[in-house]
A and B are shown apart, each in its own frame.
Chain A
């Protein structure tokens, strides 16, 4: 089995690589690349993302054919893909960070700034928060409701179809923190930084 972490110059992905390698040990081959052929031949793909919605989409667009290859992988061939943080947010149709930016459009919805209720809540939403699992998701196998995960973000994904939501978290409002739509998975939190339970989610994804 081969799992590819897409390296598209979206900032720091070393923690994602380290966590997948820790879980995979020698059983699974972890590739870190933006090579289109290597992505095509993968069994699973991880799409990380740090920085802004716009900077991540710009970085994806900067690599010729990458978005088409990812769409073919996830939408046409329906192979498992996991988006993390902005990687999840990019599934949306549109994002409003920095400027209005078109997303991948894989899961209909928008990405907007978290309402901090006139400064009553600090942004970014940084730290450990509990996830409320609202539907069975394959990546939550053996993960209990109210497990703590590590978050760092100021924007939230608001999907149109609420049925894709697999978990939410409470901050200034109820925030979508995990989605599952067929073969497409995403977490707003960082499983790679969420200690043992985060590694369990990665393990679940690898073992899908």
Chain B
């Protein structure tokens, strides 16, 4: 039986973890590689890096991070943030990323998704959708949630599937950072619209939210950042909790 996945996400800026696990025995708490290794040793089904480096001159730092991580972690590694072109994707994959998530570039130029999935295969192309509720629908935002594209999230999700996306990483901008739970309404509507797996993101504050993302949001995988930071919950605890709620996980 296929298991639901738990994906811890690390925000990386200039090659350093912005938030992170605050364990005393860490040699370097800011090193993404060490943190990723803790997650994978703890049973994370995949690891996600979100590169939030703002300045162009430091953009190359992520390549070194990915390269070092992929030599230590033998679970799938997804990297997103600032991925603009086929060339960016190629570089990340060559450094050892298994999947690349594309956000703003996919909205501005859907051909990037079409061309990259043809070139590298759908299995490594994740389209990241940042959506915000407006009345009775959701609209797609870009540039880290700053710009409203006006596009309808459900139609856009379908279009990305048609363009060859292998998975959708859906973040509710209303919930992101709030810790009040996923927007399961948004998740389940997109999940029923497409036939590719959906990764739910944005708003997790406790372990019940992970359960909701799968049971109510119909997500195949749940991504969370802050609940795994500072040791609030370990990935192992999260999996045991999901298991106790009858959700199939890899333990």
Contacts and interface: CB of A to CB of B under 8 A. Distances in A.
Given A150-B75, A153-B123, A124 B98 contact: no
Contact of B74 (A22, A116, A124, A125): A22
B1 A170 contact: yes
B117 to A, nearest CB: 9
Contacts of B45: 127-128
B74 A50 contact: no
A193 B2 contact: no
A122 B123 contact: no
B167 interface: yes
A139 B179 CA distance: 45
A152 interface: yes
B124 A50 contact: yes
Interface in B66-124: 70-71, 74-76, 93-98, 119-124
B221 interface: yes
Given A126-B166, A148-B3, A12 B74 contact: no
B149 interface: no
B172 interface: no
Contact of B250 (A52, A124, A126, A148): A148
B145 interface: no
Nearest to B1: A170
Contacts of B94: 12, 14
A153 B121 CA distance: 10
Nearest to A196: B74
A52 B40 CA distance: 29
Given A12-B124, A125-B2, A153-B123, A192 B96 contact: no
Interface residues of B, number: 32
A42 interface: no
Interface in B38-71: 40, 45, 70-71
Contact of A124 (B120, B166, B221): B166
Contact of B98 (A116, A153, A193, A199): A193
A14 B95 contact: yes
B148 interface: no
Contacts of A193: 74-76, 98
Given A50-B121, A195-B75, A129 B1 contact: yes
A124 B96 contact: no
A126 B220 contact: yes
13 contacts: A11-B121, A12-B98, A22-B71, A22-B74, A126-B166, A127-B45, A128-B3, A128-B250, A129-B1, A193-B74, A193-B75, A193-B98, A194-B74
Interface of A: 11-12, 14-15, 18-19, 21-22, 50-52, 55, 116, 119, 122-130, 148, 150-154, 170-171, 192-196, 198-199
